[in-house]
Amino acid sequence: MAASFNRVILAGNMTRDPESRALPSGQALAKFSLAVNRSYTTKEGEKREEVTYVDVESYGKQAEIISKYCTKGSGILV
């Protein structure tokens, strides 16, 4: 059976400063957690907000940029 993939775009805020390091190959790695907020109104008219936390890993040049310019609270799109 062929593998299938889903593409997801998330917008949120970093919950902590990125952890950065180099892989044995020399490629940069940045790890961080993203808080994605979702606001909605129930059938009864009550406003609600949900937060989903997503662990993210970034590699290469993108990881270098994230490590240099992003900190806890930064808004980011992945």
pTM score:
0.81
Indicate the average pLDDT of the chain.
95
pLDDT of 1 reads: 65
For 13-46, what is each residue's pLDDT tens digit?
999 999 999 999 999 999 999 999 999 999 999 9
User: From CA 44, how far away is CA 27, in angstroms rounded?
Assistant: 51
User: From CA 60, how far away is CA 2, in angstroms rounded?
Assistant: 28
User: From CA 6, how far away is CA 22, in angstroms rounded?
Assistant: 28
For 40-66, what is each residue's pLDDT tens digit?
999 999 999 999 999 999 999 999 999
pLDDT-based confidence at residue 72 (cuts at 50, 70, 90) = very high
Amino acid at 30: A
Burial label for 12, CB within 10 Å (0-12, 13-18, 19+), is buried
| Fold (CATH) for 11-72 | OB fold (Dihydrolipoamide Acetyltransferase, E2P) (2.40.50)
